[in-house]
Structure 1
């Protein structure tokens, strides 16, 4: 890198170059405000820069501080490390290791052919330009309250339409699920585990997310606040989601092509991550092995989960257990 006139200028130049490597859109804009790189923000108080960055993502300042800001700064740090590594000729982040707040492609074999998965390590509500996101829900199709931290709550919050004062004026995921239940005559009773209800995406459409597939996998445990989730129900729901994607594909312009899965059933107190992933992957791999051309994404919350996705998708876990592609998950 070219030497700058002062240490401060050198740091700013490095930050600007790192930020320029981020995906264009909300992520890069939020980084520019957070670091005071956006035009006219250099002398803003940190609280004002944070508030502006939070507004870019459509979340409260407190939620941005606790989650999104860490992801944004993590992405910048990854690119700084890569730039410095390139300068020094040493390996950088992302070459053989996972770091927080990133995403990358993973090449896997399915049915004797090589396919590509995209793995995201960030909150689910930051997904952009993925046609369909699969969201876990209980068998009563009851969404959690928006202030909670689950995948379904995050998507409900991100899909809501807010007024100029930030108040919710439309709760489309909740409302559309109620309409789905009425249409299919399931209102007031549970659906079978593995059922998938499709809705529009509300405000998430502005991020390029066009459909939400609500996968009913959690069965409430009587007399408690807990749920039971069976791996077989997760696999059944993923298979149904992929079949529904095929049914709906040509009803949209352009046709639906991409789908993103969290680790379904891995909320606290439910399935371990590796069990959830094995259940999801069993259905995804079977579909890809049949020649499906879907653009498949996984979204996880931590680098450790991302590394797990990479290992099982490339066959390491199957090799260790003696399982074969297409074997069912018990």
Structure 2
């Protein structure tokens, strides 16, 4: 395999081996095409390796799957390879059955049709990852303070590059939600699922003892008279943070930006709704702040709508920052944090927002 290129057929062959073995057995499977592709992609990231060959391959696979853009395709890919939370050691038959359920088809039909499409799309993303030009800078920091232009001034912004459930010491987090404020199951990998899981209380054997965020959202809907009905996109509902309070997180602002598409597992997200929701969350922070001791001041924003909502990272950045810019122009002064999980959107934020 030439440097910077991958043979699609060879990568697809290796992906089928991973599908059979699952992530837990990567070390036991010979994956020459994926190993070479991972080395090429790491070289373009400015790194020489990722600990082990299996580790480098897993890094590449997760990066490729994350670039599928959400929706059924990404969810089926995560189940197919054993990347969905809790599926790492599942047998191949169980993973295939769950992936078939994503598309609402039989296991046999999925095997003959959708599975090949899913693996093919992962192979396409791997090809693009190894063919892209190397980034202008190597971002390895999990926390970085940048100076961004907002309104008529420059403001400090802390950029976090890690899963949202590792966040500490930020007063409020804006949580992407659908217009029904229906939380995903806690085992999912989305921002809202991760925070639901982290806010809950669990026994030593993994039994759910309390699910406060789910219960508070249900109570909020009952008080507002919206139980069983969607709210207007851009609506924000505030809840407590449950067990996250032990990490210094005091409020969760649930932003209804995703409109479920009837008859599917997909959503529609409009940038204008993202902007309206972020503005509402910042206004809610200012309104609630005096009720707390010490007052609320810091807020963390993910790139709303850039997962299953289908917005590109660029669209989400622009929609989020439009609200920040407007609120700061009106005199708001929150301590701003932005959070992404991977280096690619982090670099975009640095290019778009950072000012010398």
What is the TM-score of this pair, normalised by structure 2?
0.60
**Which of 172, 180, 184 is the equivalent residue of 1:140?**
180
Q: Where do residues 134-213 of structure 1 align in structure 2 (5 Å cutoff)?
A: 134-213=174-253
Secondary structure, aligned partner of 1:254: coil
Residues 1:302 and 2:342 aligned together: yes
Work out which of the residue numbers 247, 257, 261 in structure 1 matches 2:301: 261
Asked if 1:251 is matched to 2:285, the reply is no
For the residue of structure 1 that corresponds to 2:169, the secondary structure is coil
Kindly provide the CA deviation profile for residues 247-300 of structure 1, in whole angstroms up to 9, marking residues without a partner as x. Answer: 100011100000000000011351111101110010011112333221000000
Aligned length: 225
Q: Deviations over 1:199-250 (max 9, x none)?
A: 0000000100000000001101111111000000000000100111111000
**8 A contact 2:255–2:277 mirrored in 1:** yes
Counterpart in 2 of 1:280? Answer: 320
Deviations 1:116-138 (A, max 9, x none): 00000000000000000000111
- Name the counterpart of 1:30: none
The verdict on how the C-alpha distance between 1:309 and 1:128 changes in structure 2, with shifts beyond 3 A counting, is same
CA-based RMSD = 2.0
Q: Structure 1: where are the runs of 5+ without partners? A: 1-61, 67-95, 317-330
Contact 1:101/1:122 (8 A) holds in 2: no
Partner of 2:35: none
Q: Which whole-Å CA distance do the structure 2 matches of 1:100 and 1:228 have between them?
A: 32
Alpha-carbon distance between aligned partners in 2 of 1:121 and 1:101, rounded to the nearest angstrom: 7
Name the one with the larger helix percent. 2
**Paired residue secondary structure (2:145):** strand
Q: Could you tell which deviates more after superposition, 157-166 or 284-293?
A: 284-293
Shift of 1:99: 2.9
Report if the CA contact (8 A) 1:131-1:209 is conserved.
yes
Q: Which stretches of structure 1, 4 residues or longer, exceed 4 Å deviation after superposition?
A: none
Q: Separation in 2 of the partners of 1:144 and 1:109?
A: 35
